Amino acid sequence: NAGVTQTPKFRILKIGQSMTLQCTQDMNHNYMYWYRQDPGMGLKLIYYSVGAGITDKGEVPNGYNVSRSTTEDFPLRLELAAPSQTSVYFCASSRRTSGGPGSEQFFGPGTRLTVL
Amino acid sequence: QKEVEQNSGPLSVPEGAIASLNCTYSDRGSQSFFWYRQYSGKSPELIMSIYSNGDKEDGRFTAQLNKASQYVSLLIRDSQPSDSATYLCAPVGNQFYFGTGTSLTVIP
């Protein structure tokens, strides 16, 4: 049971380039999330998904896109990278939401992205 | 008003002391409360969950919840240098909020 895995671990992009951050979970969780964390700051929700085919925006969705074609995978797409997108990106998943046992989120190891 | 308020610290305690971390939240609908530990350069790791008023103990960790005061805390007894990390509070209701975290340093 690998939990939540993310690739790549590190990436340097030039301004205007695009890339996809991969996220996979093997816990059969319905709910998946993408966060970004800037240095010394908290986690900000970018997008989340409540199941295959269903996604919704979080607090900071501009400049990003997501898709959820399977329960396991939730890739995050960056289009036209900008220096403001330099951050650490975490993917997370949970069995349920709205409180109660099972709503705790489990995190992947993160992707450290630098845009120059 | 921020959804979750935590003292950002840094909080420094000597090895063996009790570290007390506090969190207040604004969503009265929050039903679950989680504490995550995040080491520098690593991802958040769940260390405690609490769902009802009162105390919950797990080893050296005790979570305390007071829903009427919208307050949750984490006590770490016999603090160790390995406890040095940032601790994130996360109340869960209709949405999942994370606090910005309290940085804890345990001094040997």
Contact in structure between A25 and A41 (CB atoms under 8 Å): no
Q: What is the per-residue pLDDT across A49-70, written as a single tens digit (0 to 9) for each?
A: 999 999 999 989 999 999 999 9
Residue B93 at interface with chain A, using a CB cutoff of 8 Å: yes
Distance CA B43, CA A88 (A): 10
Residue B44 at interface with chain A, using a CB cutoff of 8 Å: yes
Q: Please give the pLDDT value at position A82.
A: 96
Nearest to B35 by CA among B105, B95, B102: B102
A39 pLDDT band (50/70/90 cuts)? confident
Residue B39 at interface with chain A, using a CB cutoff of 8 Å: no
Q: Please give the pLDDT value at position A11.
A: 97
Nearest to B40 by CA among A39, A21, A95: A39
Mutant choice from A35, A96, A103 vs B, greatest count of B C-beta within 10 A? A103
Q: How many CB atoms lie within 10 A of CB B5?
A: 17
Interface of A with B in 19-78 (CB under 8 A): 33, 41-43, 45
Residue bearing the bigger pLDDT, B21 or A39: B21
- The residue whose two tokens read 């995190």 is A107
pLDDT in tens, chain B (108 residues): 568 888 878 999 999 999 999 999 888 888 788 999 999 999 999 999 998 899 999 999 999 999 899 999 999 999 999 999 999 998 887 667 788 899 999 999
Q: Please give the pLDDT value at position A101.
A: 79
- The residue whose two tokens read 């003292």 is B7
Residue A51 CA, chain-centre distance (Å), reads: 14
Quick one: tokens of B97?
């909020």
